[in-house]
Amino acid sequence: MDAQIREVFFIMYKAYLKRIVDIVLGLLLLLLVSWFILLIGVIYWVNNQGPVFFFQSRIGKDEVLFDLIKFRTLKENVELPLGERRFFIGKILRYTSLDELPQLINILKGEMSLIGPRPLPVKYLSRFSSEQRKRHAVKPGLTGWAQVNGRNSISWDEKFRYDLEYVERCSLLFDFWIMIKTALILLSFRKDVSLHEEEFKGKS
């Protein structure tokens, strides 16, 4: 009987409760950081840094595309070398992962979840194996199991293994554990290597 109850709760969480948690916590977090988002907007305006937000099409649940929102951390001129496109505030935001905060809007819109596999660029869609595509059975997350187990310091095979493990294990307690690990990592101020992530070339 206990196993049946756990299975019912597991199904209910994935189908309904997870979305409720996303809305409640997402709204609370957005209210808490709204002053910071406004402050960043003012800083960008004062320093003439151009648009505050960066939008990019990403792969969502069931491979439905959506526009991911981030703080823009590079200058708009894509013809410049990467080193020349960086600017001080952008580097701080990326280093602290605070550039991800606007994705709370994606969460409230229902395009993302607080926890899940990271949403990948559209160009990767044709490169996934049938097994790797199973990561899209759940909504992409602001953070996830792969992110707290190495993020960009692990191989793509390892990332996909963690993503698929999350799809199988998704539960309230598992999500809570990932949130705790995410907070600990953010407080550790690990060096950012996101601009140097190796591109996923295709099926492995």
Are 93 and 101 spatial neighbours (Cβ–Cβ below 8 Å)? Answer: no
pTM of the model: 0.89
Residue type for position 183: A
pLDDT score, position 34: 93
Rg (CA), the chain: 18
pLDDT score, position 55: 95
N-term to C-term CA, the chain: 41
Put residue 192 in one of left, alpha, beta given phi > 0 → left and psi -120 to 50 → alpha: beta
Query: Consecutive sets of 10 residues in the chain, 204 residues long: mean pLDDT of each?
Result: 69 88 96 93 86 94 96 84 83 88 96 96 93 95 93 87 95 94 80 62 68
pLDDT score, position 189: 63
pLDDT score, position 3: 67
d(CA 107, CA 143): 12
Q: Which residues pair with 86 in a beta bridge?
A: 74
DSSP class per residue in 111-153: S-EEESSPPPBGGGGGG--TTGGGGGGS--EEE-TTGGGTGGG
